[in-house]
C-alpha cells in the first residue's frame, strides 16, 4: 500500500509560495461546511471587506477568484477585452509577456512597450504608445515583476491610462501586502494578485478588484465572455452582497478559511507596518549579500523589497548552489526566468517569510555554498 505523503520542512524563500504561518495552516484543517451555508456566506463577506482593506479600495467587485493568480490575470482580460480591441501591454519581464498572450487569445491586438528585463517600465514610451493608438481599450502592466525583482510606477501608469480613456489592468501578484497597492488612489480599473506571495496563504486563490468603470465595461460588452468559469457576470451572482447566492461553482472552502486567517493577520499588523517590515529585511539582505560578495541585479530605487534578484558570480554553478541550499540547508530559492535563466537567483522575503532570522539564515547558507565552491 502506498504511504501517505509527508512533505519535508523547507524554508520557502523563493518567488512563491511563501512560508505559511501555523495559524493559517491550522485554518485549513477546520471542518468543511457547505459553500452555500449562511455561516460560510458570512465569512465570504468578511473576506471581501478584508481584501478591500488590502487593496485600499471601496470597489464593490472585490473577491478571490477560485484559482491561482494566473486565473486572476485571465479573469481581468477575458472580461474586459473583446475581439477587435487594442491593448497597450508593457513588457519588462516574463509576466508582461503573459499579459500579451491573454490579449491575443481574447482576439485583440497587443501593442507592446518593451523595456529591458530588470528595469522599470518607461513612462514616456507608454505615453507615446497611447498617443499612437487612440481608442486603445486598456493599458496593461506588471506592478511588481516577479521574474526580475523590479517595481514600476503604477500611479503614473494608471494616470496615463485615465488621460487616454483606457482601462488600467494591473498585475499585483507579488506586490499585494508587501508594498503599497492603492487601487482607489491610483485610479486602477482591474488589479489581480495571488494568495501565496505576501499574503502568506497557500497557493490556489487570486484576489481581484474591479472599479465601477471596469464593471460598466463588462456590462457593455458586445460579445459573450469566452470563459464560462471566469465570467464575472456569473461569478458576481455567487459573491454578491448578503442574502441569497446564485450557485456558480463549489468554492474551495478550506482554502478560503486560510485566506481569511491570513488577511486577519495583515489587518492586525497594519499595511504600513507590513511595508516597513519588508523594506527593513530587504535592506538587511542587501547588506548581508554584499558582505559575502554578492550584489543585486536591479538598480537601487527600482528594487522590490519582497523579491530580490541576485547576480550569480562568474564561474558559479547557479543550479548547483540552489540544489545545495535545498538538500543541505532545507532552503528553497528561485532561479531566473526567460533571458535571466542561469544569471540570477531570486530570493523572496514575502509575508511571513520576511523576518530577520530568515535573512540571516539564507545569507549564511549562501556564503557556505560559495566557500565550498572556492575550496
Q: 26-40 pLDDT, tens per residue?
A: 999 999 999 989 999
Q: What is the mean pLDDT of the chain?
A: 96
Evaluate if residue 243 carries a pLDDT over 80.
Answer: no
State residue 40's pLDDT score: 93
State residue 244's pLDDT score: 67
- pLDDT bin (cut points 50, 70, 90) of residue 246 is confident
| Together in a domain, 281 and 239 | no
Residue 75 covered by a domain: yes
Angle between helices 232-239 and 69-80 in degrees, nearest 10:
120
Q: 207-228 pLDDT, tens per residue?
A: 999 999 999 999 999 999 999 9
The total domain count for the chain is 2
Write the CATH number for 280: 3.90.1150.10
Q: What is the mean pLDDT of residues 244-248?
A: 81
Residue 1 covered by a domain: no
- pLDDT bin (cut points 50, 70, 90) of residue 375 is very low
Q: What's the CA gap between 86 and 84, in Å, rounded?
A: 7
- pLDDT bin (cut points 50, 70, 90) of residue 237 is confident
| Together in a domain, 208 and 245 | yes
Write the CATH number for 217: 3.40.640.10
- pLDDT bin (cut points 50, 70, 90) of residue 373 is confident
| Together in a domain, 74 and 192 | yes
State residue 239's pLDDT score: 87
- pLDDT bin (cut points 50, 70, 90) of residue 245 is confident
- Residue 207, classed as helix, strand or coil, is strand
Last residue of a domain, one of 234, 267, 300: 267
Last residue of a domain, one of 234, 252, 267: 267
| Together in a domain, 202 and 64 | yes
Evaluate if residue 240 carries a pLDDT over 80.
Answer: no
- CB atoms near residue 217 (< 10 Å): 20
Residue 243 covered by a domain: yes
Domain that holds residue 365: 11-15+271-374
Q: What is the mean pLDDT of residues 56-63?
A: 97
| Together in a domain, 101 and 250 | yes
| Together in a domain, 28 and 136 | yes
Backbone torsions φ then ψ of 350, nearest 5 degrees = -115, 135
Could you tell me the pTM of the whole model? 0.97
Residue 278 CB partners (closer than 8 Å, separation 6+): 178, 179, 198, 305, 306, 349, 350, 354
Q: 172-210 pLDDT, tens per residue?
A: 999 999 999 999 999 999 999 999 999 999 999 999 999
Q: Residue 219, preceding bond cis, omega within 30 degrees?
A: no
Last residue of a domain, one of 223, 244, 267: 267
Residue 320 CB partners (closer than 8 Å, separation 6+): none
| Together in a domain, 120 and 195 | yes
Residue 219 covered by a domain: yes
Percent of the chain with pLDDT over 90: 95
In this structure, the chain runs to a length of 375
Evaluate if residue 89 carries a pLDDT over 50.
Answer: yes
| Together in a domain, 116 and 253 | yes
Evaluate if residue 285 carries a pLDDT over 80.
Answer: yes
| Together in a domain, 280 and 310 | yes
How are beta strands 86-91 and 109-114 bridged, if at all? parallel
Q: 287-338 pLDDT, tens per residue?
A: 999 999 999 999 999 999 999 999 999 999 999 999 999 999 999 999 999 9
| Together in a domain, 142 and 172 | yes
Residue 286 covered by a domain: yes
Angle value at C-alpha 67, between 346 and 191, nearest 5 degrees: 70
State residue 374's pLDDT score: 56
| Together in a domain, 223 and 298 | no
| Together in a domain, 339 and 280 | yes
Amino acid at each position: 500500500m502506498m504511504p501517505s505523503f509527508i512533505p519535508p520542512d523547507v524554508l520557502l524563500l523563493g518567488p512563491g509560495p511563501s512560508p505559511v504561518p501555523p495559524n493559517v495552516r491550522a485554518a485549513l484543517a477546520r471542518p468543511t461546511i457547505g459553500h452555500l451555508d449562511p455561516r460560510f456566506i458570512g465569512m465570504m463577506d468578511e473576506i471581501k471587506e478584508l481584501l478591500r482593506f488590502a487593496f485600499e479600495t471601496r470597489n464593490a467587485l472585490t473577491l478571490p477568484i477560485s484559482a491561482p493568480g494566473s486565473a486572476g490575470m485571465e479573469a481581468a482580460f477575458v472580461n474586459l477585452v473583446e475581439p477587435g480591441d487594442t491593448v497597450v501591454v508593457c513588457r519588462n519581464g516574463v509576466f508582461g509577456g503573459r499579459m500579451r498572450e491573454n490579449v491575443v487569445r481574447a482576439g485583440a491586438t497587443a501593442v507592446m512597450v518593451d523595456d529591458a528585463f530588470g528595469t522599470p517600465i518607461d513612462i514616456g514610451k507608454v505615453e507615446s504608445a497611447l498617443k499612437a493608438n487612440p481608442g486603445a481599450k486598456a493599458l496593461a502592466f506588471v506592478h511588481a515583476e516577479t521574474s526580475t525583482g523590479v517595481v514600476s510606477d503604477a500611479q503614473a501608469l494608471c494616470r496615463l491610462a485615465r488621460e487616454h480613456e483606457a482601462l488600467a489592468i494591473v498585475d499585483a501578484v507579488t506586490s499585494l501586502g508587501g508594498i503599497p497597492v492603492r487601487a482607489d488612489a491610483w485610479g486602477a480599473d482591474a488589479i489581480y494578485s495571488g494568495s501565496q506571495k505576501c499574503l502568506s496563504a497557500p497557493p490556489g486563490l487570486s484576489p481581484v478588484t474591479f472599479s465601477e468603470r471596469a464593471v460598466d465595461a463588462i456590462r457593455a460588452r458586445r460579445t459573450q465572455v469566452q470563459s464560462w468559469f471566469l465570467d464575472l457576470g456569473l461569478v458576481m451572482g455567487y459573491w454578491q452582497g448578503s442574502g441569497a447566492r446564485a450557485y456558480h461553482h463549489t468554492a474551495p472552502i478550506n482554502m478560503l478559511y486560510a485566506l481569511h486567517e491570513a488577511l486577519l493577520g495583515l489587518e492586525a499588523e497594519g499595511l504600513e507596518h507590513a511595508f516597513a517590515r519588508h523594506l527593513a529585511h530587504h535592506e538587511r539582505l542587501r547588506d548581508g549579500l554584499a558582505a559575502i560578495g554578492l550584489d543585486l541585479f536591479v538598480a537601487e530605487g527600482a528594487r522590490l523589497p519582497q523579491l530580490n534578484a541576485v547576480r550569480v558570480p562568474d564561474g558559479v554553478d547557479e543550479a548547483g548552489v540552489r540544489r545545495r541550499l535545498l538538500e543541505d540547508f532545507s532552503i528553497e530559492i528561485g532561479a531566473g526566468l526567460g533571458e535571466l535563466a542561469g544569471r540570477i537567483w531570486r530570493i523572496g522575503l514575502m509575508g511571513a517569510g520576511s523576518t530577520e532570522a530568515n535573512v540571516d539564515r539564507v545569507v549564511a547558507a549562501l556564503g557556505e555554498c560559495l566557500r565550498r565552491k572556492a575550496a
